[in-house]
Amino acid sequence: MNENLEIFADPGVWAALATLIAMEVVLGIDNLIFISILTNKLPDAMRPKARMVGIGLALGLRLALLSLVAVIARMTRPLFEAFGHGFSARDLILIAGGLFLVWKATTEIHHNVDDDAHREESGPGAATVSITFGAAIAQIIALDLVFSIDSIITAVGMTDHIPVMVIAVLVAVGVMMTASGPLARFIERNPTVVMLALAFLFMIGMTLIADGCGVHVPKGYIYAAMAFSASVEGLNIFARRRRERRRREDAAPR
């Protein structure tokens, strides 16, 4: 116990902790966007439970993987070589997760732009549920696993201290829990944000595939593009709300 506390006397450990928390939070928000889009397809009463289950699974998987750091470290060793790149277990998991994310984002985008699907859901007697609770949790588990492995490998690459990794994971999951409800409600109230979030998921999926194939795309570029797109969408939402408020004021009796 004392040894675990003594490592925090080193300023370098605090710097690594701050950097790791920032990276874990970003990875957690990626995870949370996917969870929010999936749970918004459930009935209102089930959504908070599904979000908490999804985030709880993310925490459980990350802590379980932290107990297997030695195994995780070996996952970066090449298993076979193809096209001049040595593929490791981590690479295969990232490629599989990226393909799943690309497939899921593509099908959701198709669903959002398909007029027939929208008419069926909004027509008389249409069902309000487009996914079952079990199916949502199964898909959340699949992506939690991918994001958790990426998260832990990132942590292992930045520090050798397990307590630092645990703190970073707990802080990131705490942020996910705090932001889950507001983010899900914001996405639900602003349909155009759903398309932007799906585009983000598609881009993240392609990045995972590229990373698994040995093509490293600097995450700073990805998150800078996402931040710019989100800021433009934020301006659009602000302008749209001002126009709607002005229309209501003009239509109000004087």
Check residues 190 and 10 and name the one with the higher pLDDT: 190
Residue 163 contacts residue 50 (beta carbons within 8 Å): no
Looking at every residue in the chain, the average pLDDT score rounds to 75
Residue 62 contacts residue 148 (beta carbons within 8 Å): yes
On whether residue 180 sits in a domain, the answer given is yes
Check residues 3 and 131 and name the one with the higher pLDDT: 131
On whether residue 38 sits in a domain, the answer given is yes
On whether residue 32 sits in a domain, the answer given is yes
On whether residue 227 sits in a domain, the answer given is no
Full 3-state SS string of 106-124 = HHHHHHHHCHHHHHHHHCC
Q: What is the pLDDT of residue 126?
A: 41
Task: Name which of 42, 30, 245, 39 is nearest 148 in CA terms.
Answer: 30
Domain of 45?
Answer: 2-217
On whether residue 232 sits in a domain, the answer given is no
Q: What is the pTM of this model?
A: 0.67
On whether residue 197 sits in a domain, the answer given is yes
On whether residue 254 sits in a domain, the answer given is no
| Terminal CA-CA length for the chain | 71
On whether residue 44 sits in a domain, the answer given is yes
Q: What are the structure tokens assigned to 50, written together?
A: 């599904």
pLDDT band at 72, cuts 50/70/90? low
* Average pLDDT over every residue of 210-215: 83
Q: Which residue has the tokens 């409800």?
A: 181
What is the per-residue pLDDT across 79-102, written as a single tens digit (0 to 9) for each?
Answer: 788 777 788 877 887 788 788 878
What is the per-residue pLDDT across 217-254, written as a single tens digit (0 to 9) for each?
Answer: 777 777 788 788 888 888 888 888 888 888 877 777 76
Q: Is the pLDDT of residue 128 over 50?
A: no
Number of compact structural domains in the chain: 1
Distances (CA, A) of 220 to 14, 122, 225: 22, 40, 9
